[in-house]
Amino acid sequence: MFKIELNQELLKYCVEHGVRENIILEQLRDATYKFSNRQMLITPDQGALMAMLARIMNATRFLEIGMFTGYSALWMALSMPQHSHITTLDINDKYLPLAQEYWEKAGVSENINPIIGKASETLQKMISNNTEYFDIAFIDANKSQYIEYYEMCLQLVRPGGIIIIDNVLMYGQILETEPRKNYVKILQKLNKLLKDDQRVDICLLPIGDGMTLAQKRSFN
């Protein structure tokens, strides 16, 4: 059933040979790697996959939950057509100036709308206003709220659109039989929910820290 055992060396090979990272993305990644919380960044192969999905789908509207230094938002902005709309949410504005510096350098800042505040509240407002819809949503913020985010994204993504969920393997902790950390329990619950959720088609990829693609079905 399984063909290959992935190790660090092979994963390094995948990134080195399988990803074309724009120079400004590389510079932003280097700038972010100076911070102690750098592990929060998606990996370049995750960025390349998300960017390719956007191109295949002709996506023009992207919602991101978890902006940090704006690296994943920049991958998407560079892969989407001019006049696309990228909305990125974060509770913290500490890294916003850095993100904006690189979005401007790449000439895409006009397309990116950062919203600072609790993501669940921003998402709830979008649902209540009933004016927003997205082709792709990316969940990459507070792990304890992933189920909540997922349910809200299902309301905000169009039929046929994709919800991308990061950290579904939680650095291997997902295999724990009696997890002590609450967010691991939540992720186990979400993965179980997704497996049987007839509202979506799914594919869990062992890329980065594990990433699930959930495509919203047009009909149930």
What does the binding site for ligand SAM look like in residue numbers (CB under 6 A)? 40-42, 66-68, 71-72, 89-92, 118-119, 140-142
Query: What strands lie across the sheet with 157-166, from one edge to the other?
Result: 112-116, 85-90, 61-65, 134-139, 157-166, 211-216, 200-205
- Using the minimum distance from each CB to ligand SAM, give the nearer residue, 91 or 202: 91
- Using the minimum distance from each CB to ligand SAM, give the nearer residue, 161 or 208: 208
* Helix and strand element counts for the chain (H, E): 8, 7
- Using the minimum distance from each CB to ligand SAM, give the nearer residue, 46 or 188: 46
Closest contact distance (angstroms) between CB of 15 and ligand SAM is 15
Closest contact distance (angstroms) between CB of 84 and ligand SAM is 17
Residue pair 154/210 in contact (Cβ under 8 Å)? The answer is no
Closest contact distance (angstroms) between CB of 38 and ligand SAM is 10
Closest contact distance (angstroms) between CB of 202 and ligand SAM is 20
- Using the minimum distance from each CB to ligand SAM, give the nearer residue, 112 or 141: 141
Cα–Cα distance, 213 to 220 (Å, whole number): 18
Q: Which two tokens stand for residue 78?
A: 């560079």
Cα–Cα distance, 214 to 163 (Å, whole number): 5
